[in-house]
């Protein structure tokens, strides 16, 4: 049994390059399915899927990130390995790429979970990651039009050995202040994985932090396969009650994938070993 879910953010449809987003979701899903089918590890699959979505430039993450109010590009990402409960994250990362792989390096090459700002950049440079010379050229200018407010990417996977992993990466929200960090690099808010469930969130990060959304899903989903959809709805209702919006993608240990959102649309792709396969811009 294996299952994978990938998302490209929940938010408005306006200003999005829907055809490109759909094509890139589909291609990323095809890659992830093939990896899981041949016995690939959940951790490698979520990292690889998020890396492809970062490179796409059609989502507000990785190369599609938008600058903050002072024109700088600050990116957030996290990755969680459910089996070992190890995780790694970077926050307000600038000048170096790719965020999700750097987050994994924090997990594997340091005793820390989260590195932020200049320290994260220096860690990445010291570990051989790509320095970004000219951000205005690197961050696909115009790929995500100014109207787009947010659009994280993320992935959850269950592999054939039963391991679960989750990863999330974002350029944050439009008009964010320098140093603003959202939910995406916060384990328990934007991402979560343990031996029962993997979760990746997208939306107005402040609300996902205030509700500890990803961990909230994990705690409420004691029997993840039976309860996933109602649990996602409950956590989203809590977010909505505070005035927030977004979407949640989760996979349970039995191979069930679920997603829910309270925005106009969510870009999402899912597949499993039972033959389910969808890559779509889901609308309400």
Contact call for residue 244 and ligand ASP (CB under 6 A): no
Within 10 A of 226 (CB to CB), how many other CB atoms are there?
A: 13
Contact call for residue 184 and ligand ASP (CB under 6 A): yes
Strands 86-93 and 75-81 turn out to be: antiparallel
d(CA 64, CA 57): 4
Closest distance to ligand ASP from the beta carbon of 235 (Å): 14
Q: Is 179 left (phi over 0), alpha (psi -120 to 50) or beta?
A: left
d(CA 54, CA 65): 9
- For residues 85 to 124, the per-residue mask of contacts with ligand ASP, x marking binding by CB under 6 A and - elsewhere, is ----------------------------------------
Is 52 or 267 the residue whose CB approaches ligand ASP more closely?
A: 267
Structure tokens at 105: 């390096």
Closest distance to ligand ASP from the beta carbon of 41 (Å): 26
Going through the chain in order, the beta strands assigned E by DSSP cover: 3-11, 75-81, 86-93, 96-97, 114-116, 130-131, 153-158, 164-170, 191-193, 197-203, 246-252, 257-261, 265-272, 277-283
Among 67, 182, 198, 224, binds ligand ASP (CB under 6 A): 182
Among 152, 169, 200, 263, binds ligand ASP (CB under 6 A): 152
Among 151, 188, 198, 224, binds ligand ASP (CB under 6 A): 151
d(CA 193, CA 87): 9
Residues assigned a catalytic role? 152
Contact call for residue 205 and ligand ASP (CB under 6 A): yes
Closest distance to ligand ASP from the beta carbon of 239 (Å): 11
- For residues 2 to 31, the per-residue mask of contacts with ligand ASP, x marking binding by CB under 6 A and - elsewhere, is -------x----------------------
Element containing residue 241 per DSSP (H, E): helix 224-241
Contact call for residue 173 and ligand ASP (CB under 6 A): yes
| Residue keyed to tokens 């095809």 | 30
Among the residue ranges 21-29, 40-48, 88-96, 149-157, the one whose residues contact ligand ASP (CB under 6 A): 149-157
Chain contacts with ligand ASP (rule: CB under 6 A): 9, 150-152, 170, 172-173, 182-184, 202-205
């Amino acid at each position: 049994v294996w299952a994978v879910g990938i998302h490209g953010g929940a938010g408005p449809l306006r200003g999005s390059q829907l055809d490109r987003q759909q094509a890139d979701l589909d291609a990323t899903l095809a890659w992830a399915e093939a990896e899981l089918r041949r016995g690939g590890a959940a951790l490698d699959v979520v990292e690889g899927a998020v890396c492809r979505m970062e490179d796409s430039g059609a989502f507000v993450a990785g190369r599609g990130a938008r600058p903050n109010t002072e024109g700088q590009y600050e990116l957030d990402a996290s990755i969680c390995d459910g089996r070992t409960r190890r995780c790694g994250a970077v926050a307000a990362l600038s000048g170096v790429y790719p965020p999700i792989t750097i987050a994994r390096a924090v997990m594997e090459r340091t005793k820390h979970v989260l590195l932020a700002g200049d320290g994260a950049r220096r860690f990445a440079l010291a570990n051989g990651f790509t320095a970004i010379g000219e951000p205005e050229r690197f961050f696909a200018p115009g790929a995500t039009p100014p109207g787009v407010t947010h659009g994280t990417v993320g992935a959850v996977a269950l592999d054939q050995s039963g391991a679960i992993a989750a990863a999330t990466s974002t350029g944050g929200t439009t008009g964010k202040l320098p140093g603003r960090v959202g939910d995406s690099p916060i384990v328990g808010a934007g991402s979560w994985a343990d031996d029962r469930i993997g979760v990746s969130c997208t939306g107005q990060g402040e609300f996902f932090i205030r509700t500890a959304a990803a961990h909230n899903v994990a705690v409420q989903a004691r029997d993840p396969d039976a309860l996933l959809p109602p649990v996602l709805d409950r956590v989203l209702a809590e977010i909505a009650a505070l005035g927030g919006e977004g979407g949640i993608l989760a996979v349970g240990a039995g191979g069930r994938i679920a997603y829910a959102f309270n925005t106009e649309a969510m870009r999402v792709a899912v597949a499993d070993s039972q033959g389910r396969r969808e890559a779509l811009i889901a609308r309400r």
